[in-house]
A and B are shown apart, each in its own frame.
Chain A
Amino acid sequence: MEKEVIIEKINNFLVDEFEVESENITPEANLKEALELDSLDFVDLVVAIESSFGVKLVGEDFVGVLTLQDFYDLIENKFQ
């Protein structure tokens, strides 16, 4: 899957399902602080991403994932 498609889908999830303000969605945005996603939200985001992209994510995947760019990269790597 192309990186642009991954980014667009993730961003749409954030806006539509998690009510994140679109102006806050930048690659360097910190998932917890800038996007105000707590760990309970994050689990829902992960399940939505798994369902949409057909990938399986585990806890170890998120070691070092701090920003939205890290998250884009994680999903992209799942397709490689």
Chain B
Amino acid sequence: MNLLKEPITDQNIILKLIPQRTPIIMVDTLLFFNESKVVSGLTVLKDNMFVQNGYFTEPGLIEHMAQTVALYTGYHFYIKNIPAPEGYIGAIKGVTINKIPKVNEQLETEVEILQEIMGVTLVKGTTKLNGEVIVTAQMKTVLKK
């Protein structure tokens, strides 16, 4: 069940949910949140730092997935009125990228929380473009101590 009454699209709120700042913000919408799943959105703009020759490159897709995890953690903190914690990608495995999005296309990334322990969050992520799965990966993110 989605614990959000409606998607969060206000960029001022998004900025409160993640520690990243311009120009490395790779999520613009929080679509779904519950204790085991989060779904984010991103419209690829032409001035995105990971866009090259009109395409959103692979590092951007990975960062987008990582920031989706950050949204999950950050929303937990947000509802407790605590600033979003800083973190980093600890490990990635099983990355499959089937397609590179173009400028103006909209990504939707679902992250399933597999385990969260000792400041490490283990997730399985899937990014879709128009309903088509274009990225899958397993990722560990680590909260900065």
Q: Which residues of A contact B (CB under 8 A)?
A: 39-40, 42-44, 46-47, 50, 57-59, 62
CB-based contact B90/A62 at 8 Å = no
B116-139 vs A, Cβ < 8 Å mask (1 yes, 0 no): 111110100000000000000000
B91 contacts the other chain (Cβ, under 8 Å)? yes
Question: A-B pairs with the 6 shortest C-beta distances?
Answer: A39-B118, A43-B120, A43-B122, A39-B120, A40-B90, A59-B117
Chain B residues whose CB sits within 8 angstroms of the CB of A62 once the complex forms: 117-118
Residues of B within 8 Å of A, CB-based: how many?
12
A-B contacts counted at CB < 8 A amount to 36
Q: In the bound complex, what is the Cα–Cα distance between A23 and B54 (angstroms)? A: 56
The smallest C-beta distance from A44 to any residue of chain B, in angstroms, reads 8
B65 contacts the other chain (Cβ, under 8 Å)? no
Q: In the bound complex, what is the Cα–Cα distance between A6 and B97 (angstroms)? A: 39
Chain B residues whose CB sits within 8 angstroms of the CB of A47 once the complex forms: 114-115, 122
Q: Which residues of B contact A (CB under 8 A)?
A: 90-91, 114-120, 122, 140, 142
Q: Can you name 6 A-B pairs with beta carbons within 8 Å? A: A40-B90, A43-B120, A43-B122, A46-B115, A57-B115, A57-B117
Q: In the bound complex, what is the Cα–Cα distance between A58 and B115 (angstroms)? A: 8
Residues A46 and B117 in contact in the complex (CB < 8 Å), given A40-B90, A40-B91 = yes
CB-based contact A42/B118 at 8 Å = yes
Q: In the bound complex, what is the Cα–Cα distance between A40 and B90 (angstroms)? A: 7
Q: In the bound complex, what is the Cα–Cα distance between A51 and B116 (angstroms)? A: 15
